[in-house]
Amino acid sequence: MRYDLRELPLAARYKILNSTVTPRPIAWVTTMSKGGVVNAAPYSFFNVCGVEPPLVVLGLLKDLRTRQLKDTATNIIDTGEFVVNLVCEGDAEKMNLSSVDAPREVSEIDYAGIETMPSEAVRPPRVATSPVSFECRKVAALDIGTHQTVMIGEILVAHIADAFISDPGKLYLDTPAMGLIGRTHGAGWYVRTTDQFKLDRPVFDPARVKKDDEA
């Protein structure tokens, strides 16, 4: 089947992207409003997008009914700060609970019983049980279209739990032991990252390139 995304309605485009671009890492984003309310919300339209400076990108969808920014985007734009916490399987239930459509004055930290720790370079706290947390400052917020904001943030400080550092000097990390989870197709489906395989990056072999007279 061929689908022209220029002609499809929003719901159909979302279904295609959500069901094919998998697995997606989850950014469990903590922010703080100007009034001091701490927000926590998971986003799977997320990835790293640079190393000099180190950058993360979030695709923050707006409220589909009002087309207004949700709490996470509002807080980041207002304060310029946020923390990306990666999600381990042990935190799955609390992460899912924090995805509720809570009123702005309600903190998902309290609602979902999320344990936090103070950050160093930004005001929003980090999730204490997260294997990895990135303290970030907003670099750019781009409204592209009517239903989304693309948020780019620079990672200022990275926190990695000591249990997952195999060799501090060489920065060898035991990533499989973190038990990170990701999003897959449809509503409510997740994936574990425990079933892995390795492929070494190949070295270019000129013999594999056909010469013009052999083509």
One-letter amino acid for residue 165 of the chain = I
- Per-residue pLDDT reduced to its tens digit, 140-187: 999 998 899 999 999 999 999 999 999 999 999 999 999 999 999 988
User: Which pLDDT score, from 0 to 100, does residue 62 have?
Assistant: 87
How distant, in Å, are the alpha carbons of 199, 203, 213 from that of 209? 21, 13, 12
Residue 126: phi, psi to the nearest 5? -105, 160
Can you give the residue ranges of every domain in the chain?
10-214
β 54-61/46-51 pair status: antiparallel
Provide the b/e sequence for 131-149 (b: ≥16 CB within 10 Å): bbbbbbebeebeeeeeebb
Tell me 178's DSSP state: G
- The tokens for 122 are 């930004």
pTM of the model: 0.92
Considering only CA atoms, which of 118, 132, 119, 102 is closest in space to residue 40?
A: 102
* Annotation: CATH topology of 10-214: Pnp Oxidase; Chain A (2.30.110)
Question: 3-state class of 14 per DSSP?
Answer: helix
Burial of 44 (0-12, 13-18, 19+ CB in 10 A): buried
As a residue count, the chain comes to 215
The predicted model gives 82-100 an average pLDDT of 97
- Per-residue pLDDT reduced to its tens digit, 15-62: 999 999 999 999 999 999 999 999 999 999 999 999 999 999 999 998
Residue 27: phi, psi to the nearest 5? -100, 110
Cα distance between residue 6 and residue 31, in whole Å: 34
One-letter amino acid for residue 147 of the chain = H
Cα distance between residue 114 and residue 154, in whole Å: 24
Average model confidence (pLDDT) across the chain: 94
Cα distance between residue 176 and residue 199, in whole Å: 16
